[in-house]
Structures are given as structure tokens and as C-alpha cells.
């Protein structure tokens, strides 16, 4: 084990897109666990769009940043935290964390499933997609679905799960043409458009000329307005996120077709995945057999080295990831854990 620990702090509030100057890597001695705690050496970190939202005020400045993290217990002073165990915690952007039993849960081992999956399809990202489809949308076989930010973590998971659940036509949007090809060749989307290519309403109308039953929205703004126009009567909108707004300094896009929600009897509902952790076991039971059979494969961008965590986060905001972005400690391989 190394003798030095690294922690990332936010040092200033961004106006618009953050830059590396809004962060600092802070070095310290590896912490020593006290009674009733354990030292975890971290292996994988999740960087997420909600971190950008927290940078506006929820993250304290000059303090460690929270986030979903997987690590190995290397020194334990509590019988509930066995040395060698792989655990998931939320203490975030640091190489080492001291955790109490209530702050960490054991990560279940599934044969043939890499650890990173517990931050992607089996983690909060996959749970968001699963809850959105099963609890909020109540997807039924044959229904036509449009997903915004389809090439991201939630978007790829939504596409793959919707396919397995028997969705009809699957349409997605992304910011890069190369990602569209992956979505259609590998994830199961029927049509994907680059939202930079024109007004989203026109692009969606061309991609789904007969309309859609369901919109899973990771973006908001112009995408939401376009979907309202394309939805059939009694259609549903699952609001997951509003990434179009997180880095924007302009006025948010105003929805001009709100009357359509009434005229077409549409239903719109948002949710926070943290209020649905009771569905985690069901997610494992649904997804793991498909992962083990090879019917479901992982969409992940894995970035190596804790020192790349800030760049990975900023790259994700710019759309450089395909699937869920995770950061992996140097020297860890997909087979570890
Ligand atoms: P992600 O989609 O893997 O990464 C973000 C993606 O957003 C980028 O790759 C980029 O892809 C796209 N993007 C960036 N700026 C955009 C813009 N201005 N307009 C359209 N697309 C833009 O991230 P994720 O973790 O899966 O999260 C996706 C959404 O779900 C976010 O809004 C997040 O806040 C939300 N979320 C909500 C919950 C919940 O509990 N409700 C849980 C998890 C995530 P392109 O290259 O395709 O533009």
C-alpha cells in the first residue's frame, strides 16, 4: 500500500463549464482507522453529472468531494468490516477512506461480472434506468421509446434494458455521430440522431415518424419540447435529468407546447434513484443472468489513474464518454475483485 493519500477538493465555484482550476489534489498521510472503523483503499470511482450540480453550492469548498466509490478494506478495527472485503461507499474522490460499518456495504460477487459493473449497470446508473422503465414509465411490450443522452451511462442502460423488456422502436439522441453507430450496432437502438444536426423537434419527427409512447429524458430543454410534440395520446415522460442546463449560463429553454400535455393527456414524472434503493436486489436478479449469459454487455468508458479523475469528470460533461464513465486506480485490472 502507498504511504501517501490523495484527495480532490473543489476550490472555487464555476460560472458555466468548470475547468481543472476549480479543483485541487491534496496530499496527506494515509489515514489510520480508529476503533469501529476500517481503512479502505479505493479501486474505482464514479464521476457523475450531479457532481456538477453540487459544485454550485452543495459541495463545501476545500473539502473532500463525495461520490460512489468501490474499494478494498485493508486495515480494519471493526469485525463488521473484514480485511480484504470489497465495499461500496460514498466518500468519493480520494485514494483512501476511513469508513464505519454504516457507511459502506459489501459488494456482492457475481461470477464473470467485473467490479466496475457495480458503478454502471448494477450501480446507481443501471438502477436509475431500471426504476425509470419499470416503476415510473411502467413500460409495456411493443411500446416505442425515445431516450435523450442515449449514449451515456443511463442512456445505454435504458436502451439495453428496454430491449430486454420488449420495447418496440427505440430512438435515441447523442452529441456525436460515432456514438450513434455504437448505439445502433450494439445497444439495440433502431435510430439515433445527432442533436447538433438541426432543431431537435425535426430530427425526432424524422426518426420517429409515427410518434412515441414514452420519453426517458436525461437532457431537458429542447429535447423535452420535441418529445412532447412527438408523444402519442396518453404517452409518458420520465424526467431523469436536465444536463442541458447544468453548465449553461443562459436562460433555460422555455417549453412552448405545454398545452399539448393537456390535449394529449400526457403524464410527466421525475424521480431520484436514492429513493428507490429497495429495488437494488431486483436489479441484480434481472441483470446478472443476462450479463453472465452474454446477452447483456457493459457500456463503460474506463479511465485509468486517480490523477485523471478531474479530467474524466470534465470530459464526461463534454460528452467524451461512451456509456458509464468510471475511473480505475492504477494497476487494477478488470479481473480484480
Ligand atoms: P452520462 O449520460 O453518461 O454523461 C453525460 C452525457 O450528457 C454526455 O456524455 C453528453 O453526451 C451529454 N450531454 C452533455 N451536455 C449536453 C447537452 N447540453 N445537451 C445534451 N446532452 C448533453 O451521465 P449519466 O450519469 O448517465 O447521467 C445522465 C442524466 O441522468 C444526467 O442528467 C444526470 O443528472 C441524470 N441522473 C439522474 C439520476 C436520478 O436519480 N434522477 C440518477 C443518475 C443520473 P453527448 O455526447 O451525447 O452529448
pLDDT in tens, 172-214: 999 999 999 999 999 999 999 999 999 999 999 999 999 999 9
* 109 & 168 share domain: no
* 169 & 100 share domain: no
- Is residue 319 in contact with ligand 1, taking CB distance under 6 Å? yes
CATH code of 79's domain: 3.90.180.10
Q: Give a yes or no: residue 285 inside a domain.
A: no
Look at ligand 1, atom 45, and give the residue with the nearest C-alpha. 175
What pLDDT is recorded for position 52?
Answer: 98
Q: Which helix (H) or strand (E) holds 98?
A: strand 96-99
CATH code of 244's domain: 3.40.50.720
Q: What percent of the chain has pLDDT over 90?
A: 97
- pTM, two decimals, is 0.97
Closest by CA to 171, choosing from 120, 235, 215, is: 215
Q: Give a yes or no: residue 64 inside a domain.
A: yes
Q: Which helix (H) or strand (E) holds 315?
A: helix 309-318
- What is the C-alpha separation between 288 and 294, in angstroms, rounded? 10
Closest by CA to 95, choosing from 268, 332, 336, is: 332
Answer yes or no: are the C-beta atoms of 154 and 241 closer than 8 Å.
Answer: yes
Distance 151 CA to ligand 1 centre (A): 9
Distance 219 CA to ligand 1 centre (A): 6
Residue 268, pLDDT > 80, answer yes
* 10 & 113 share domain: yes
Residue 126, pLDDT > 60, answer yes
Q: Give a yes or no: residue 289 inside a domain.
A: no
Confidence of residue 336 (pLDDT cuts 50, 70, 90): low
Distance 73 CA to ligand 1 centre (A): 31
What pLDDT is recorded for position 1?
Answer: 58
Query: What DSSP character marks residue 194?
Result: E
Half-sphere exposure of 145 (CA within 13 A, CB side): 31
Confidence of residue 333 (pLDDT cuts 50, 70, 90): confident
Grid cell listed for 88: 461500496
Output the CA torsion 253→47→127→134 (10° steps).
Answer: 10
- Our count of domains for the chain comes to 2
* 115 & 146 share domain: no
Instruction: Enumerate residues 6+ apart whose C-beta is below 8 A from 333.
Output: none
Residue 335, pLDDT > 80, answer no
Q: Which domain does 34 fall in, by range?
A: 4-120+298-328
| Exposure b/e, 107-131, CB count within 10 A at least 16 = b | beebeebbbbbbbbbbbbbbbbbbb
What pLDDT is recorded for position 3?
Answer: 80
* 156 & 227 share domain: yes
- What is the tens place of the pLDDT at every residue in 59-92? 999 999 999 999 999 999 999 999 999 999 999 9
What pLDDT is recorded for position 169?
Answer: 98
Residue 47, pLDDT > 70, answer yes
| Mean pLDDT score of the chain | 97
* 160 & 223 share domain: yes
Q: Provide the 3-class DSSP secondary structure of residue 171.
A: strand
Torsional sign, CA 203, 163, 240, 261: positive
Residue 18, pLDDT > 90, answer yes
Residue 110, pLDDT > 70, answer yes
- Is residue 152 in contact with ligand 1, taking CB distance under 6 Å? yes
Over residues 324-335, the mean pLDDT reads 89
How far from the centroid of its chain's Cα atoms is residue 211's Cα? 27
* 48 & 170 share domain: no
Q: What percent of the chain has pLDDT over 70?
A: 98
Confidence of residue 2 (pLDDT cuts 50, 70, 90): low
What pLDDT is recorded for position 220?
Answer: 98
Q: Give a yes or no: residue 333 inside a domain.
A: no
- What is the C-alpha separation between 193 and 149, in angstroms, rounded? 10
Q: Give a yes or no: residue 337 inside a domain.
A: no
- Is residue 173 in contact with ligand 1, taking CB distance under 6 Å? no
Residue among 182, 217, 241 to mutate when testing ligand 1 (max atoms within 8 A of CB): 241
Amino acid at each position: 500500500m502507498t504511504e501517501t493519500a490523495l484527495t480532490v477538493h473543489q476550490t472555487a465555484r464555476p460560472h458555466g463549464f468548470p475547468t481543472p482550476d476549480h479543483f485541487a489534489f491534496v496530499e496527506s498521510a494515509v489515514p489510520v482507522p480508529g476503533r469501529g472503523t476500517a481503512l479502505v483503499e479505493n479501486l474505482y470511482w464514479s464521476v457523475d453529472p450531479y457532481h456538477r450540480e453540487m459544485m454550485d453550492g452543495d459541495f463545501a469548498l476545500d473539502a473532500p468531494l463525495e461520490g460512489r466509490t468501490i474499494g478494498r478494506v485493508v486495515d480494519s478495527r471493526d469485525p463488521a468490516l473484514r480485511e480484504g472485503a470489497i465495499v461500496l461507499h460514498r466518500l468519493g474522490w480520494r485514494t483512501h477512506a476511513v469508513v464505519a460499518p454504516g457507511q459502506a456495504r459489501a459488494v456482492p460477487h457475481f461470477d464473470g461480472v467485473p467490479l466496475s459493473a457495480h458503478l454502471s449497470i448494477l450501480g446507481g446508473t443501471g438502477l436509475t434506468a431500471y426504476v425509470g422503465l419499470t416503476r415510473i414509465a411502467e413500460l409495456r411490450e411493443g411500446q416505442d421509446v425515445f431516450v435523450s443522452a442515449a449514449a451515456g451511462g443511463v442512456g445505454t442502460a435504458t436502451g439495453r434494458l428496454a430491449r430486454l423488456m420488449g420495447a418496440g422502436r427505440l430512438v435515441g439522441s447523442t452529441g456525436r455521430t460515432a456514438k450513434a453507430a455504437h448505439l445502433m450496432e450494439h445497444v439495440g437502438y433502431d435510430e439515433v440522431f445527432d442533436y447538433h444536426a438541426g432543431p431537435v423537434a425535426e430530427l425526432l419527427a424524422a426518426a420517429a415518424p409515427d410518434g412515441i409512447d414514452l420519453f426517458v429524458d436525461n437532457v431537458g430543454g429542447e429535447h423535452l419540447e420535441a418529445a412532447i410534440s412527438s408523444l402519442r395520446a396518453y404517452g409518458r415522460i420520465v424526467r431523469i435529468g436536465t444536463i442541458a442546463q447544468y453548465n449553461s449560463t443562459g436562460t433555460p429553454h422555455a417549453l412552448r407546447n405545454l398545452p399539448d400535455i393537456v390535449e394529449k393527456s400526457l403524464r410527466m414524472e421525475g424521480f431520484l434513484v436514492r429513493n428507490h434503493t429497495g429495488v437494488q436486489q431486483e436489479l441484480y436478479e434481472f441483470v446478472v443472468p443476462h450479463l453472465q449469459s452474454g446477452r447483456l454487455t457493459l457500456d463503460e468508458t474506463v479511465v485509468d489513474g486517480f490523477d485523471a479523475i478531474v479530467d474524466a469528470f470534465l470530459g464526461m460533461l463534454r460528452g467524451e464518454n461512451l456509456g458509464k464513465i468510471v475511473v480505475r486506480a492504477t494497476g487494477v485490472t478488470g479481473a480484480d475483485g
